[in-house]
Structure formats: C-alpha cells, structure tokens
Amino acid sequence: MPTPTAALVLADGTVFYGRGFGAEGRTVAELCFNTAMTGYQEVMTDPSYADQIVTFTFPHIGNTGVTPEDEEASEPHAKGIVVKWDPTAPSNWRSTGTLPDWMRRTGRIGIGGVDTRRLTRAIRNLGMPHVALEHRADGNFDLDALRAAAAGFQGLEGADLAKGVTTAQTYRWQDGRWSWEGGFAPATEGGPKVVAVDYGAKRNILRSLVSAGCDVTVLPATATYEDVMAHDPDGVFLSNGPGDPAATGEYAVPMIRELMEKTELPIFGICLGHQMLALALGAKTVKMNHGHHGVNHPVKEITTGKVEVTSMNHGFAVDAGTLPATVEETHISLFDGTNCGLKVKDRPIFSVQQHPEASPGPQDSFYLFERFAASMRPAAEPAAEADTAD
C-alpha cells in the first residue's frame, strides 16, 4: 500500500489518511460537508467558507477542471478540500487548468482517498469538528502536533470573519450574469442605484443584481450610515459572508438600524446579510449542528406554498422564535424547519437565508433579485410584478 501523503486529524484524535494534492503544508479549520455535484471552484472561492475545510460528498471532484470565469472572489477562501477519489484529468471545454495545479498555485491543500461517507456521518452526528489537515510528500506526520493544532483552533463562534474578506475600498460593479452566447453581460444604464454592503459577497450575487437592472456600488463591511447615504441609493443590499453573525453585528447592526429608522429605503439581505437584518430587527442567531451546505435544499415560501430547490451555505441560523411581531417569517427549510426568510410588515425590507444567485445550484429563487429591483422603481413606472419564478 502506498505511503499516505496527507492526514486529516480531528480534535478528538481521529485520523483519516489519504493522498495529498494541491499545496504542501498544514492548515486548521472547521470541517463541513457539501452535497453539490458540481461547482467546486465556486465553493472554494466563496468567501462564506473562510476558516473552513470542505468535505465533498460527491466523489467526482476535479473532473471539469478550473476556469477564471467560475471564481467567486479573487482567491480561494476555503482552506482545503476532502474528497473520495483523487482528481482526474479535466474533461470540459471551458477548462483552463487542473484543480490540483490551481490549488497548488493558490496555496490550498487537498486530500483524496478518504471515506467521505464515514466522515459525513460523523459531522452529521457530532457536529462540525475542528481539524488539522497536512500534506507532506514524505508522509512523515506528527499526529500529536496535528491533534493539538486542531484542538487549539478557536472555531467560528464569536469570530468576526467579514472584515477579513470584505473589499478594502468602494467600487462599482458592472458585469451581469454569464451566458452561453456572450459571456458576462454588460450593465445597463439608468437602473435603480443599489449600495451593496460587502460582508464577503460572491461575484455572482453582484452580477445577479446587475442582471435585474440595478446600478451597483459595493461598500466595505464596516460602512457607516453616512457612507451608505453618500451614494444617494434607491436601495441597500446586504451580502453573504462568513463567521458568527453576532460578532459581525457589533458594527453592522447599528448601521442597518439607522437605515431603517431614518429612511424608507428598500433593503434586501442574503445569507449573512439575512442574519444581519434579523439581528437589527431584534432577533437572535444560533450555531447549527452541521449547517446547510449544498445545492439541493428545499425551501418553502410560506405565503404561496411554493417549494424552491435552493443553494445553501451557512453554519448559523436565525432563531425564528425571537422574531418580533413586526416581522413576518417568509421561508422555511423543509429539511429541518429552520428559518430561511423574513420581511418587515408594510415595508420593502426582506431577506433570505438561501443563495438566489446559485453558482452553483438551481435558479428557482432568482425572482428575489427582480422583486428587490421592482421595490425600488417609482410607482408610476410600469414594471411587471416579479413575485413568482417563471
């Protein structure tokens, strides 16, 4: 049997050996699992995966290669990946390279040959563990040191990770969504002006706003009320992002509350942005056992009874029992009943836990971007109501 070149060590001392690929070295993180059958490059570059290592339950990871068009940020944010089978040579007309080479170039560690079913069962039963992952070509591992490193990881509870992944400066986003015919669509002029607060925004969320007709300006996570209003927006978008929402809320919540108190602007939040809005409204968030990570999550819109298959990526959830009377729960997960959406009664303020932009995943929830855009148009302007998916 070949000598293992990678080891995944859990804080409780459990060891998984395998074959390393990507960069050599050691990293520590929280371990989650993702059930998507495609889109591993989007997952790796999603800022919401900061300080996490991703176990992919689907075995064929790497078979479509990589392309810059599929990156959700300028660099990967997940610290590593765990897979069943070693990545194979890519077979895809869009591929410009291999997953192992891309991971080596970007400093990310992978381990193949792992019993991912066993590992996923452990995560489901015991929660997302703290782990250390090491790739060494010589196969010489100090297991005690790796276990100690895993046990010493601070975890995501209480961690504000948004400041580490947000933009450093304000900028305007101008690309729409990708299409087979022409690549990324250019922005159109004259749409409602949206300030997007970046807690770790995926590029395809910004593209979806543009494709819904919005003129998008992106601000850092620490933006103040004055920073936002300096752009004279027609609406405010709160992005996805990593970490503990209560920690990020220390500086984000006061700004959101001020927006709600002093303006009538429409506000739309996704993922961490959903949690930020809930906290600003007086609700609480809780750490989940193993979170929701995948592209097959059924979510029910309560008012219509419509079920959407959605893309999810979160380890914290809004506690629906703490929502005030002024707020209506709009969506729930059909996996576990957790909150997946809210809106303020009689005001154009709403948010969802799922990712309507997908990337990867289904497009069932894209109508939410159109609903947000419609909420910013003057009442006299003719616009079709976009409350249901096509």
Active-site residues, by number, are 271, 355, 357
Look at strands 349-352 and 339-344 and give their pairing.
antiparallel
Instruction: Give me the helices (H) in 46-128, please.
Output: 99-106, 116-126
Which residues touch 377 (CB under 8 Å, ≥6 apart)?
A: 192, 383
Nearest partner of 343 among 220, 232, 263, 260, judged by Cα: 260
What's the one-letter identity of residue 240? N
317, 339 in Cβ contact below 8 A?
A: yes
Structure tokens at 207: 């593209």
55, 32 in Cβ contact below 8 A?
A: yes
Rounded to the nearest 5°, which phi and psi values hold at 22? 80, -145
What region, left, alpha or beta, does residue 190 occupy, with left being phi > 0 and alpha being psi -120 to 50 degrees?
left
Structure tokens at 3: 């000598």
338, 332 in Cβ contact below 8 A?
A: yes
Nearest partner of 307 among 334, 283, 285, judged by Cα: 334
What's the one-letter identity of residue 167? T
Nearest partner of 239 among 291, 194, 193, 274, judged by Cα: 274
Task: Supply the DSSP string of 13-49, one letter for each residue.
Answer: S-EEEEEEEES-EEEEEEEEEE--SS-HHHHHH-GGG
CA gap 34, 120 in Å, rounded:
9
